[in-house]
Structure 1
Amino acid sequence: MAIIERFSEAAVLAKLCSVTLLVAMLLVWIAFTCTGWGGYDRKTEPYERSGKHFGLWRVCSDSKYMSSCDPLDGVTIEWFGIVQACAIFGFFGINLAFFLLVLYIFVPSCQRNKEVGMAASIICIVTAGLYLVGVIIFGVRYKRDYINELEDDYRFGYCYFLSIVAILLEGGSGVLLFFETRLNGATPTDRQHLTSSGYQANPTYGASTTREQTA
């Protein structure tokens, strides 16, 4: 029940970010592990399928008689290596940001902590930008090297478009987290004051001192 109570007590922006980041994380897990970034799928005979499907780490054939996969890690194509590196930053960035958001919402020692919230916001924005660079490079080079050059019916796959959606969700979450932290975040000193026994007994405790200092 404590988890439900802490989630209900969280600000609206924090709740929204938790949902959007969770969806982005699920999409990134699919895009990072599956072979659906590009390829082709066609019928060579009435009952035989023949195609290739590219992922970040392997390329697979779905031929009825010779189904196989080949690894792509360590590939010597420079642009594809850059795409892999950017995808790694995006993958770990979304997971790390979601972990920090869980701390920000549910863990008492980190609840509404400005440093934790701002760190999650920065990670979201930076890694979404890096992931976007990788997606753009893949889109440009894959279209030029495969779709426009080869006679086979190459096309972009579902993982490519899932990555675009994940980037938008992660970047948007980073912006929302920034405003959430500025509006509702608290420094460790503020938290000590708000949770002190004096404040709990008298919510106006320390208010007069603050007014005197500002005067």
Structure 2
Amino acid sequence: MSVDNERRILLKAEGISKDYVESSVVTHVLKGVDLDIYTDEMVAVIGSSGSGKSTLLHILGTLDKPTRGNVYFNGENLFKMSGRARDYFRNHHLGFVYQFHHLLSDFTSYENVAFPLMISGEYTKAQIDERVKYLLDRVGLGHRMNHRSSELSGGERQRVAIARAIANKPMLILADEPTGNLDFRSAGEVFDLLTELRAENHCSMLVVTHDRELAKRFERTCEMSDGLIKVK
């Protein structure tokens, strides 16, 4: 892929390794992964179950720490930050979408989308209200604003999760099999919506998936196998 001259590296992973130790048995899940993600870029990481792609996503999103290696975001080493600084970074600059939405079941659609804005402490009630209503309308769920997640269909829950992920206007969306739990039609609608909102907000997106047809719709595809990204 030729990268536009205006693009720059947003996230850089260098030599990411992850080992798990259980009863003196060491499992090497990641074995020195290098990956650059540019601003305003869509990247798919494909690979079979157990290839390490979800582990990589969690480390890039600072939800887990690498055993070895470094992750830089806008040139800053994320794992040299304090825990509080990483929490702030995650809340303000990243958006997450998962296969199983991870909505708060007792919360309404409105409350789920408002939650990251509320915990940031940087928005007034009026600003939160405006942003949440706009996003729920944008994902086609303005009429379901006061419904709890348990009252929504799978596709509707994932659309609420997308609205929540984009609420803080993140610089990078990280998605783990975002359409993997949906039927074909709902999957297509959810993916189209996710890519439209990504483009509108001029953020980058990294999706890990085993779906090669889905991956074809991305600008760039990387394939993981046995804890490494294959060089194409």
Give the TM-score normalised by the residue count of structure 1: 0.25
User: Which gives a bigger RCO, structure 1 or 2 (Cα 8 Å, sep 6+)?
Assistant: 2
TM-score for the superposition, normalised by structure 2: 0.23
Query: Greater CA radius of gyration, 1 or 2?
Result: 1
Higher helix share: 1
